[in-house]
Amino acid sequence: MSSALTRDEAQLRAQLLDVHHYAVTLDLTTGDETFDSATVIRFSARTPGDTFLELKPEELRSVELDGHPLDPSTLDGSRLPLTGLAEGPHELRVDTRMRYSRTGEGLHRFTDPEDGETYVYTQMFMDDVQRVFPAFDQPDLKAVFEFTVTAPSHWYVLANGITTRTGDREGDGAGIWTSAPTPVISTYLAAVAAGPWHSVRTDHAGLPFALHCRRSLAPHLDADAEEILSVTKDCFDRYHEKFAEPYPFDSYDQAFVPEFNAGAMENPGLVTFRDEFIFRSAVTDTERQRRAMVIAHEMAHMWFGDLVTLRWWDDIWLNESFAEYMGYQTLVEATRFTGTWTEFGMERKPWGYDADQRPSTHPVAPDAVPDTASALLNFDGISYAKGASALRQLVAWLGEKDFLDGINTHFTRHKFANASLADFVDSLAAHTERDVHAWADVWLRTTGVDTLSPRIEENASGWTLTVDHHGSRPHHIGVGLYDRVPGRRDLELRERLSLDVPSDEVLSVSGPRPALVLLNDGDLGYAKIRLDATSVETALRSLSALPDPLTRAVVWNSLRDMVRDGELEPDAYLETARAHLPDEQDLAIVQGVLAFARTHIAARYVAPAQRTAALATITDTARALLRRTEDGSDPGLRLAAVRVRIDSATQPDTLATWLADGTVPGGPELDPELRWRILARLAVLGAVGESDITAALAADPTATGEEGAARCRAALPSAEAKEAAWNRLFHDDTLSNYLFSATAQGFWQPEQADLVQDYVPRYYPEAIAVAARRGPAIGDAAGRWAFPAHAVDEDNLRAGRACLEDPELIPLLRRKLVDQLDDLARALRVRTAG
C-alpha cells in the first residue's frame, strides 16, 4: 500500500475524527541507531466508523485502544487500521522503537566531527512525523502537543513550548524534560531538538527569545547574535503593528541545526534553520540580508501557517507565498536591509520565472493536489517567488490598507483552525469593491509567464506607446522613461507612468522618445519584459548608468530572459556584464549577474570550445571588480569578486599562489570557505591531489571541512577518484544528505567531460535506484546535484527522457528530472540559436 495520504482519505478522516491531544515520550539514550517513542493520543469519533493511524517504526512493540490491545502485525506499510470505532472519546497508546535519520527526515542525528558532541532535531514536514511518533497525519487534524524527553545528562531539550528539566533518571543521571502544552497545531509543525546547545537568551515583549547552535559554532553565533536578535525583534514588532492577532505561542526559539535540508522550518515556538546561517567565514552583506529575510519569512509563518493553517496541500501558497512576501516587505520596513526587493528580483524571481516555463509548472493555487507525494513537488519557485510576486501585484492593485484589513479578518475568522483559498478571498472581498475572486482566478489558478513588449511609434508631435500582451493576466505596472544626460553617460528618469495591461489604449506622449522605455519599472509585476530595439541598444551601452538598482534589476532580468529564449547572444550578455558590473553599486545585482554568467552561460549555453573564452570574460570582470576594491572600500564586493575569480579560473597558477600565501593580494586573507573553494577548483584543474585534501581536512576537521573534502575528492580528474565518488553516491547508503550533496557537486565538471562520459548513461538507472532505497531527500539531492547538467547533447536528453517511463521512479526525483531535462533542452536550443 502506498504511504501517500490522498486528499479524499484526508477529507473522510477529518469528517470522522476530532483529535485533541498528543502526549509524546521520547528516550534518546538507547543508542546511536534508534530511539524509543511512546505516544498517547486522545481523540473522538463523531460517528461509528473505521480509520487508520500512520507511523513508520523500526519496531512496533504494542498498541492499545481504550485499554484493549491491538495486533501490531496489522501495520500495513505506514498504516495501522483502527476498525469499529464507537462514537465518542478514545485513547490510543502506541509503543515503538524508531530509527534516527541521516537524511534530514524525521529525527535527524548528527555527531560533530570537531568535538564529538551529538545533536538531534526533528523535521516533521509532510509525512515525516511518522518517523518519530504515530499520528493522524494531516494538517486539518490539529491538536495540543506535549513532549517528555529523556536525554543524556549534559543535553538541553527544546520543543514548541517552554521546556523544563523535571528530574534525572536514576542510575545514569539522564535528564527528563517536559514541554509546556502547545495551542492546537498541525502534526507537521510539532518539533523537538536536543543536544549540548550553545545558547544566547534574552526577553522581548514579555516572551523568552533564544538562539541555539552546536558548541563548535559558539564563537560564530556570539559574533552575530546581536544582529540576529535585532532582526528578530524588529520583525516581531513590525508584525504586531501589521497584524491584529498577537504572536500566539509562549516563546520564540531559533535553533541553527546541522545537515538541514531546507533553509528553515516554521515550527511554532521553535524555528529550525540550517546552521550555515551561522557564518564561520566572511560573507557579503547580501548574504546577511538573505539570512535576515529567512528570519522574517519564518516569523511570518507564525501567523501564515501556524495560527491559520491550510486545510490541504493545494493551498501551500497560503503559507509560502505570504511568508515570502511578508519577509521581504517587512525587512524593508523594519530593518537596515532596505534593498531586499532588488535581491528578490535578481535571485527569487528568476527562480519563479524558470519554474513557470517548464512542463512541470502548476498554478500558484492548484485546483486539487491528489496526495502528499504530489504536494511535496509544489514547494518550488512558483509557490514561493511567483506567489509572492502575485501578492505584491495584489497589494499594488488593491492598496495596502485593504490588503492588511483582509488579512486581519482572515486571522480573526480562522485562528487556531484551518482555511482555504476561498476563505482567504472572502476575507479580502469584505474590505474592497474590487473583484478579488476574479483576480484570484486569473492569477492563482493559471500557469505560465506573460510577456509584455513595448511597441513605439514616433510622429510629428511626439511618440506613442502600445503594450503587446502575450498571456492572460491583468498587470498593474510602472513604465519608466529614461533620457541620456547631455555631456554625461548617465541616464535620468524623465517620468514614470502607471499603466494597466491589457488595454486597448494607445498612450500618446509629447516630446522626443526616450533613450530607454522600460515596462515594469519598479518590478511590481510578474511578467517577462521585452525592450524595443532602441532601448536594447541603450541598455547594452548604458545599463549601469540607470539611477535605481531595482530598475537595473528589471533590465538585467530582461536580458537574461532574452538569452534563455535565444533572442540575445550569450556573448552579448557576458560583454554587457564586463562593461557594466565594474560600475555596479548593488551587490545583489553583481552576484546575480555573475552567477547566471558562470553557471548557465559558461557551463551550458556556449559550446565546449567557447567555454574557456566565456570564463575569461567572467574572470576579466572579476579582476575589474578587484581593482575597484583595492582600497578596501567595499569588502563584500571584493569577496564576491574573489569567489568568482576562483570559480572561473582556467589555469591553476594564481590560485596556487593565493593558497600558498594564505591571502589574496590586497586581501582578504583566506578563511576556511575560501581555502576549500580554491582547493576544489585546483582539484578540477588537476593541480592538487589526495594528500593536499587530507592535509586540508586535518587543518579544518569540521563538518564543513568534511563536506569540502568530499567535494574535492569527487572533483579529482582521475578514473580512480571518479569511480570511488560514484560508489559513495550510489552504492554506499551511509552518506548523510550533506555529504551526498557535496560529493555530487564535485563529480561532474565541464572540464572533465571526456573522463566522465561513460557515467552519463549510468546516472539514470542508478539515481532511480538510490532514490527508491533512500527516500525523497536523497532523491531530491540526486536530481538536483548529481544530474549530468554539463552534458548538453542529444544522447543525454534522449536517455533522460527514456528514464521517465521507469515505474520505480519516485515522484520527487521524477519532477527534478523533468525540470533538468527541460533546462537541458533549452540549453541545446540556445546553442543552436547562437
What dihedral do alpha carbons 102, 103, 109, 115 form, nearest 10°?
80
The CA radius of gyration of the chain, in Å to the nearest whole number, is: 27
Q: Is the Cβ–Cβ distance between 822 and 789 less than 8 Å? A: no
Q: Measured between alpha carbons, how far is 343 from 291 in angstroms, rounded to an integer? A: 12
Mention every residue, 6+ apart, whose C-beta is less than 8 A from residue 393. 443, 475, 476, 524, 525, 526
Per the annotation, the verdict on 298 as an active-site residue is: yes
The DSSP 8-state label assigned to residue 135 in this structure reads B
Helix (H, G, I), strand (E, B) or coil at 27: strand
Question: Which residue in 105, 298, 343, 673 is the catalytic one?
Answer: 298
Residue from 528, 534, 525 nearest 482 by CA: 534
Count of CB atoms situated within 10 Å of the CB of 383: 25
* Edge-first strand listing for the sheet containing 34-45: 68-70, 59-65, 88-99, 34-45, 17-27, 144-151, 175-179, 163-168
Q: Is the Cβ–Cβ distance between 418 and 185 less than 8 Å? A: no
Q: What is the CA angle 80-82-88, rounded to 5?
A: 145
Q: Measured between alpha carbons, how far is 195 from 211 in angstroms, rounded to an integer? A: 14
Q: Is the Cβ–Cβ distance between 117 and 195 less than 8 Å? A: yes
Residue from 642, 648, 649 nearest 663 by CA: 642
> Rounded to the nearest 5°, which phi and psi values hold at 100?
-65, 155
Q: Is the Cβ–Cβ distance between 643 and 678 less than 8 Å? A: no
- If you search the block for the grid coordinates 542525528, which residue do you land on? 109
C-alpha cell at 179: 514541554
Q: Measured between alpha carbons, how far is 689 from 682 in angstroms, rounded to an integer? A: 9
Measure Cα distances from 370 to 10, 314, 376, 399, 423 in Å: 10, 9, 11, 35, 20
> Rounded to the nearest 5°, which phi and psi values hold at 223?
-65, -30
> Rounded to the nearest 5°, which phi and psi values hold at 92?
-115, 130
C-alpha cell at 785: 546535484
Beta bridge partners of 491: 484
Amino acid at 813: L
Q: Is the Cβ–Cβ distance between 220 and 279 less than 8 Å? A: yes
Q: Is 8 exposed, middle or buried (0-12, 13-18, 19+ CB in 10 A)?
A: exposed
What dihedral do alpha carbons 300, 305, 307, 311 form, nearest 10°?
160
Helix (H, G, I), strand (E, B) or coil at 616: helix
Helix orientation angle between 811-833 and 759-774, rounded to the nearest 10 degrees: 150
Q: Is the Cβ–Cβ distance between 381 and 352 less than 8 Å? A: yes
Q: Residue-wise over 574-585: b if at least 16 C-beta within 10 A, else e?
A: bebbbbbbbebe
Residue from 590, 138, 28 nearest 342 by CA: 590
C-alpha cell at 104: 534530514
Q: Is 171 exposed, middle or buried (0-12, 13-18, 19+ CB in 10 A)?
A: exposed
Amino acid at 718: S
What residues are labeled active site?
298
